């Protein structure tokens, strides 16, 4: 199948998302978020997320089919996030997708959420760049990856050893009473602040760190440093704190990503995941990659956060490449390794 018609389901966290693609063309992308239900708790509550997925699944599928102007029976395959993520939330998507595949007698691709974030790039650019270095930054993951083939070969170069970048944004936003999710709130505040006002630490960037774990990330120390600064500075300027904190995260992410490009000899970089929507990261990545002669690809902001289009995209790429589909009976895996692109 050169241009398979694939319906993708994503339920790894708090978005119930259904996307439909034909080959590398996006036809529908429906997202029902339960973020408002989690906001008063300052973070995602797994039980609430699972219940929201159950309620939103059928309406989301119906709307995606309507938006794509197809019949459900027209699809060639179903794709679904099998992990990583919240296990209860994943199970809702996995059960729904498996039932759909059985009912329609279509193959199913149980794919990796992290690989799917990268594959959304194929929906927005005509030129395929492989191999590439991929910087994946989201609420639960901060990883540097070498992608030789999005359907069969991903190598993990490094990852966070504690808080992911998105987690750090959420936790500091909570301390600063900016609400949840924290990333967009800090990004907005930072636009009015001085990014050089406070010299917050850059984790894992000492000379020894570059020798022993050059592509790993750590944001726990930064989070603690910001919290202590807020405690010791009663009359702090909130915008300056937001801008300086954000700058520390962006600086480390790009230092390590460009180092990976240089050391591997790969002159292309894809940045994906929810934090890739951050305006400072996007601007700095463009500037630094131009200076380094690196081709940069970042999906549109609307395709950076969790969505069904990315899952459908990876499913379509798998089908077009002739990769074996998954068995109908498979388990969701909350800690699915990134090198496991799909379950077979």
Q: Which value, to the nearest 10 degrees, does the dihedral of the CA atoms of residues 266, 268, 273, 274 take?
A: 130
Consecutive H or E run containing 227: helix 220-232
Secondary structure (3-state) at 102: helix
Residue 176: what pLDDT? 94
DSSP state of 138: -
Q: How far apart are CA 112 and CA 333, in angstroms?
A: 9
Q: Write down the CATH number for the domain with range 5-120+307-343.
A: 3.30.420.40
Residue 42: what pLDDT? 73
Consecutive H or E run containing 79: strand 77-83
Residue 287: what pLDDT? 98
Answer yes or no: are the C-beta atoms of 17 and 308 closer than 8 Å.
Answer: yes
Length of the chain: 344
pLDDT digits (tens, 9 = 90+) for 44-82: 787 888 999 999 999 999 999 999 999 999 999 999 999
In angstroms, what CA-CA distances link 23 with 100, 253, 313?
20, 32, 7
Consecutive H or E run containing 289: helix 279-292
Q: Which two tokens stand for residue 25?
A: 């063309």
Answer yes or no: are the C-beta atoms of 339 and 62 closer than 8 Å.
Answer: no
Its pTM stands at 0.94
CA 164 to chain centre: 11
Degrees, nearest 5: CA angle 112-215-287:
95
Would you kindly state where each structural domain of the chain is located, as residue ranges?
A: 5-120+307-343, 130-301
- Spans in the chain with pLDDT lower than 50: none
Question: Would the CATH topology of 5-120+307-343 be identical to that of 130-301?
Answer: yes
Q: Which two tokens stand for residue 67?
A: 């938006």
Does CATH number 3.60.15.10 belong to domain 130-301? no
Q: How far apart are CA 342 and CA 326, in angstroms?
A: 7
Nearby residues of 250 by Cβ (< 8 Å), 6 or more positions away: 278, 280, 281, 284
Secondary structure (3-state) at 112: strand
Pairing of strands 132-137, 268-272: parallel
Per DSSP, what are the bridge partners of residue 133? 146, 269
Residue 1: what pLDDT? 66
pLDDT digits (tens, 9 = 90+) for 143-169: 999 999 999 999 999 999 999 999 999
Report H helices in 126-219: 165-175, 182-190, 207-212
């Amino acid at each position: 199948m050169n241009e398979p018609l694939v319906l993708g389901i994503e339920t790894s966290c708090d978005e119930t998302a259904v996307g439909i693609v034909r080959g590398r063309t996006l036809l529908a992308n429906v997202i029902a978020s339960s973020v408002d239900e989690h906001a008063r708790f300052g973070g995602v509550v797994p039980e609430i997320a699972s219940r929201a997925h159950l309620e939103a699944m059928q309406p989301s599928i119906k709307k995606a089919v309507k938006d794509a102007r197809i019949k459900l029976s027209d699809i060639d395959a179903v794709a679904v996030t099998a992990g990583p993520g919240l296990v209860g939330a994943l199970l809702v998507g996995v059960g729904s997708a498996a039932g759909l595949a059985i009912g329609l007698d279509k193959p199913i691709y149980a794919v990796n959420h992290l690989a799917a974030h990268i594959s959304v790039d194929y929906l927005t650019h005509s030129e395929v760049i492989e191999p590439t270095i991929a910087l994946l930054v989201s609420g639960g993951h901060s990883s540097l990856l070498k992608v030789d083939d999005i359907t069969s070969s991903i190598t993990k170069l490094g990852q966070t050893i504690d808080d992911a970048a998105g987690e750090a944004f959420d936790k500091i936003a909570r301390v600063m009473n900016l609400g949840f999710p924290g990333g967009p709130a800090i990004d907005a505040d930072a636009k009015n602040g001085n990014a050089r006002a406070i010299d917050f630490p850059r984790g894992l960037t000492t000379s020894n760190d570059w020798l022993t774990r050059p592509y790993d990330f750590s944001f726990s120390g930064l989070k603690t440093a910001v919290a202590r600064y807020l405690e010791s500075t009663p009359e702090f300027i909130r915008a300056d704190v937001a801008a300086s904190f954000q700058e520390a995260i962006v600086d480390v992410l790009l230092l390590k990503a460009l180092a990976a490009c240089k050391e591997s000899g790969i002159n292309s970089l894809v940045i994906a995941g929810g934090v890739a929507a951050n305006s400072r990261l996007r601007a700095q990545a463009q500037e630094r990659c131009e200076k380094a002669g690196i081709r940069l690809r970042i999906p549109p902001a609307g395709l950076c956060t969790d969505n069904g289009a990315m899952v459908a995209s990876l499913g379509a790429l798998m089908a077009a490449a002739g990769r074996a589909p998954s068995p109908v009976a498979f388990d969701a895996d909350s800690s699915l390794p990134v090198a496991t692109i799909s379950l077979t």
